[in-house]
Amino acid sequence: MRPAGDTIFAVSSGRGRAGVAVVRISGPAAGAVLDQMAPPRPKPRFAAFRTVRHPATGEMLDEALALWFPAPKSETGEDMAELQVHGGHAVVQGVLAALGSIAGCRLAEPGEFARRALENGKLDLTGAEGLADLIEAETAAQRRQALRQAGGSLFRLYEGWRQRLIGAMAQLEAGIDFSDEPDVAADTLKTARAEVAALTGDIARHLDDGHRGELLREGFHVVLAGPPNAGKSSLLNALARREVAIVSDEAGTTRDVIEVRLELEGLPVIISDTAGLHAAATGKVEQEGMRRTVARARAADLVLWLIDVSAPPAAVPVGIAAKADRTLVIANKMDLLASGVLHPLPAGAIGISVLTGDGMDHLARRLTACVRARIGESEAPVLTQARHRQQLERCMAPLTSFLGSPIGEVELRAEDLRRAAHALGRLTGAVDVEDVLDQVFSRFCIGK
């Protein structure tokens, strides 16, 4: 990361030709930039119409709306300025070049605005992650979750827990102070212990959420598997409403895994079409394709096992059957019913015909219900990333040790609580987190 004392600037609106481009400037020289390029400096937080000029040559670059946000009431917590210029390439490049010619000003790195906001206490780490998710959100439910997190829902939860731990630590200390009054000391230690037990329960419940937040953030993985020629690729195309995968009456058409992202009632779903599974695979490519299918199916959140009603029923292979609670059996080609070559449907199978569209609505409803049951959407804050889970587990370990050890060893118990509080602090960035910052902010684009 480059020097923090610099004034940084970047185009914060989208790339490419557009009606308007928003150029943001943050840092100690932000006010001087307005004075030099778009005088006079507007009233704080009011938009003003200004002529934008090159600070050295005086050449007119554009007419724009200018805004001035003096510190600390700005997004980064520093002095900030904003120029809303016309979005043409030459205008934007001209303004950026002019900004770059001012001493102490340079182009921002990806995520640098958000990072400064974090350093100035305008944002915590989970809020920054929520912001990055908001920019990447593809579905309505993802947007709502990211917005709640960016708005501080996780921060309030985790910081609240940290404060409770700090309270329990104070109780322990008080226990030491009252060591010459054994009754009082025993009481304070008991209070501390009860508080830690309650907190441990809260964290355990939060962790035991079936990965809802993570599933919503990353997408629910559905794998289409089944014997060759059952119509898996046809079904994928029907669900995606476009020709994504090749369909043919030749068995073994699909060799590799093909993925499509869909939105089902606002929930993100990733459907993978796979190579058909059958016992007699001989070719190397075919065997590799089948190995990939089984691997995918095992990692899936839901398997759609598709069979062809006109062929002898294919049992769900052992590797996949282990996930029976996450498998829906679908019998395709029900239109062939008329030709009378049908085999009995497995119990509970959903009958469809991709060809005629029969049963497809029913399948879509069942699929949506499965996704909704697993992801749902809760108003209560949910953890959304493996980082949160890992850090909370690091917090739980010393808490468990605390509850399982003699409270009389006050110094050791206090150390347990300190370690747990530290883990929570790393979650929100309340304690030193230099090492995780680069990882979090590398996901941002320039201008954010």
Ligand X SMILES: Nc1nc2c(ncn2[C@@H]2O[C@H](COP(=O)(O)OP(=O)(O)OP(=O)(O)O)[C@@H](O)[C@H]2O)c(=O)[nH]1
* Residue numbers at the binding site for ligand X (CB under 6 A): 228-234, 247-249, 251-254, 275-276, 332-333, 335-336, 353-355
For residues 394 and 400, give the distance between their C-alpha atoms in angstroms, rounded to a whole number.
10
Residue 252 interacts with which of Mg ion, ligand X, none, CB < 5 to 8 Å by class: ligand X
Chain centroid, CA 131 distance in Å:
9
Contact 260, 236 (CB under 8 A): yes
| Contacts to Mg ion from residues 158-197, by CB under 5 A | none
Note every long-range contact of 196-200, with CB atoms under 8 Å and residues 24 or more positions apart, other chains counting.
196/165, 196/168, 196/399, 196/402, 196/403, 196/417, 197/403, 199/161, 199/164, 199/165, 199/168, 199/399, 200/396, 200/399, 200/400, 200/403
Contact 333, 351 (CB under 8 A): no
Select the span of 124-132, 193-201, 249-257, 366-374 touching Mg ion (CB under 5 A).
Answer: 249-257
Q: How far is the CB of 396 from ligand X (least distance, A)?
A: 45
Planar angle of CA 3, 71, 26, nearest 5 degrees: 40
Q: How far is the CB of 309 from ligand X (least distance, A)?
A: 9
Nearer to ligand X, 275 or 414 (CB): 275
Asked if 233 is part of the footprint of Mg ion (rule: CB under 5 A), the reply reads: yes
Q: How far is the CB of 320 from Mg ion (least distance, A)?
A: 17
Q: How far is the CB of 310 from ligand X (least distance, A)?
A: 8
Residue 317 interacts with which of ligand X, Mg ion, none, CB < 5 to 8 Å by class: none
Nearer to ligand X, 245 or 414 (CB): 245
Asked if 254 is part of the footprint of Mg ion (rule: CB under 5 A), the reply reads: yes
Nearer to ligand X, 264 or 307 (CB): 307
Nearer to ligand X, 23 or 304 (CB): 304
Residue 249 interacts with which of ligand X, Mg ion, none, CB < 5 to 8 Å by class: ligand X
Contact 206, 440 (CB under 8 A): no
Instruction: Output b/e per residue, 179-214; b: 16+ Cβ within 10 A.
Output: eeeeeebeebbebbbebbeebbeebeebeebebbbb
Sheet holding 327-332, edge to edge: 258-264, 267-273, 220-225, 302-308, 327-332, 350-351
Q: How far is the CB of 304 from Mg ion (least distance, A)?
A: 13
Nearer to ligand X, 264 or 354 (CB): 354
Nearer to Mg ion, 37 or 306 (CB): 306
Rounded alpha-carbon distances, angstroms, from residue 398 to 208, 422, 423, 436: 18, 11, 10, 22
- Which residues, other chains included, contact 165 with Cβ-Cβ below 8 Å and sequence gap of 6+? 196, 199, 417, 420, 421, 424
Of positions 36, 200, 253, 400, contacts Mg ion by CB under 5 A: 253
Residue 195 interacts with which of ligand X, Mg ion, none, CB < 5 to 8 Å by class: none
Nearer to ligand X, 257 or 396 (CB): 257
Which letter does DSSP use for residue 62 in this model? E
Q: How far is the CB of 301 from ligand X (least distance, A)?
A: 21
**Coil, helix or strand at residue 111:** coil
Q: Minimal CB distance to ligand X: which residue?
A: 276
**Coil, helix or strand at residue 163:** helix
Select the span of 9-17, 46-54, 224-232, 408-416 touching Mg ion (CB under 5 A).
Answer: 224-232
Asked if 13 is part of the footprint of Mg ion (rule: CB under 5 A), the reply reads: no
Nearer to ligand X, 128 or 354 (CB): 354
The pair phi, psi for residue 121, each rounded to 5°, is 75, 15
Tell me which residues touch Mg ion (CB under 5 A): 232-233, 253-254
